[in-house]
Structure 1
């Protein structure tokens, strides 16, 4: 029963933080420390519950994903598969090339602490930049903007930097609105997270057992339900909240990291 409670808590943490610019990795490591839920089994569990968060975005933006399958690349047709491919390319190539190095050397409290702070600074810079907004809506994003946002996503390979924090900041720095950058981040995250999680899951398959099936299912469902709520809430909040507010929260989390874990 205690393991199932931990699974629910971890699933809630994943669902709440995966698509917010606050670093889900940092929150999961901190939650794992507080719950004493660590080791290979816990790492495999975290990969599984990521699928719950990915599924939440896919369900919410299913019409957008179906539209991508039309392969309509005419000018003025709005967001299409090329935008997504361009945004995935930079981090996708480096992620595959450096996967083992990242897993071995960068997944730890110290590196997450650094990522939280540096990512927060980037978000404040983006929030205070005077760059004029030229792409107010998701369909206004250009191929060039999509590629540059993808380059910013490379920063998220460093745990704690946050995929959404990096890409939303990158979008704002190249002239997209905060809301458009957030929605584009969610859509791009689905294929790249699904691919990365699949690779991780294959590598961790020896730790998957039928005995753990209830644990993994509870965590996945928790992440899915909470993820849907978090994404809808976040998109609405983007109309009112400044990105800097999330940066200040990251600094507070980094301080908590320092005193509890380090």
Structure 2
């Protein structure tokens, strides 16, 4: 049963981490259904997030190396003018906000009620961003400016609100800033690597004792999240060629309703 939990939660993380549907909201709901809570559960979330991040590293390794001046002759796709300064500029707002607001975020923005609100508000933002994009001539730029990177970084601050979705906030910010949808998605994935590695790395050190105690359990979750995330990223990029973010927003609203019903029924809300 313990390893089945690792497989289920690893798959949930991999499926939802890079889609704009809130991996946190899904993990909280599924973990509650499985009655998997406590320090081990918290440490497990860190490990499966690292598994998802490794999927981005593998799929976009040339893109990541190009930030440091390597592989500049790779096929031009997505934000092909991207460099390390784009990542630094986009990471500053969330980095500073995370440090200054850590206590508030931990105490106020991780409750079931706040997650429900974040799911809805995040969905509304995505619909608004798509309306802005639709009103603009053309599909948006594939060349990412430093100003656009900073705007995306400002929207990434919203992802500190648990349930809002980091990919949903950054992709919405990209659309509002005039970036083409696929380009915004790829930049969101790449931006996730340093941001999530930094956050998860700190928690990994704190939770090392729990990880060592059930190493096999954590390894299974990591591998499942890694494999599923790779498949999910490839599938999501294909979906973006056919759909806007609106269907994902509608899904978020449905998830919020299911989440609320479960919380009310289980007296957790």
TM-score clears 0.5: yes
Aligned partners of 1:135 and 1:253: how far apart in 2?
30
1:7-28 deviation line (CA, Å, top 9, x unaligned): 0000000000000000000000
Superposition deviation, residue 66 in structure 1: 0.7
Tell me the matched-pair count.
256
What displacement does 1:136 show?
Answer: 3.5
**CA root-mean-square deviation:** 1.8
1:199 CA drift (Å):
1.4
Relative to structure 1, is the Cα distance of residues 208 and 176 closer, same or farther in structure 2, using a 3 angstrom cutoff? same
CA distance in 1, matches of 2:15, 2:99: 27
Q: Is the 8 A contact 2:10 2:48 kept in 1?
A: yes
Gaps of 5+ in 1: none
Question: CA separation in 2, counterparts of 1:77 and 1:14?
Answer: 28
The alignment status of 1:5 with 2:36, answered yes or no, reads no
Structure 2: unaligned runs, 5 residues or longer: 72-78, 264-268
Counterpart check, 1:28 vs 2:27: yes
Per the TM alignment, residue 93 of structure 1 is displaced from its structure 2 partner at its CA by 1.1
C-alpha displacement of 1:233: 0.6
1:165 equivalent in alignment to 2:168 = yes
Who is 2:186 aligned against? 183
1:77 Cα deviation after fit: 7.4
Which of 124, 128, 151 lines up with 1:148 in the alignment? 151
CA contact (8 A) 2:211 2:218 kept: no
The whole-number CA distance in structure 2 between the counterparts of 1:108 and 1:219 is 24
Q: 1:242 aligns with which of 241, 244, 263?
A: 244
Alignment of 1:108-127 (within 5 A): 108-127=111-130
Q: TM-score, normalised by structure 2?
A: 0.91
Are the structure 2 counterparts of residues 248 and 16 from structure 1 closer, same or farther at C-alpha, using a change threshold of 3 Å?
same
TM-score between the two structures when normalised by the length of structure 1: 0.93
Partner of 2:88: 85
Kindly provide the CA deviation profile for residues 88-126 of structure 1, in whole angstroms up to 9, marking residues without a partner as x.
Answer: 111011112222332233212111101000000000001
Separation in 2 of the partners of 1:25 and 1:247? 15
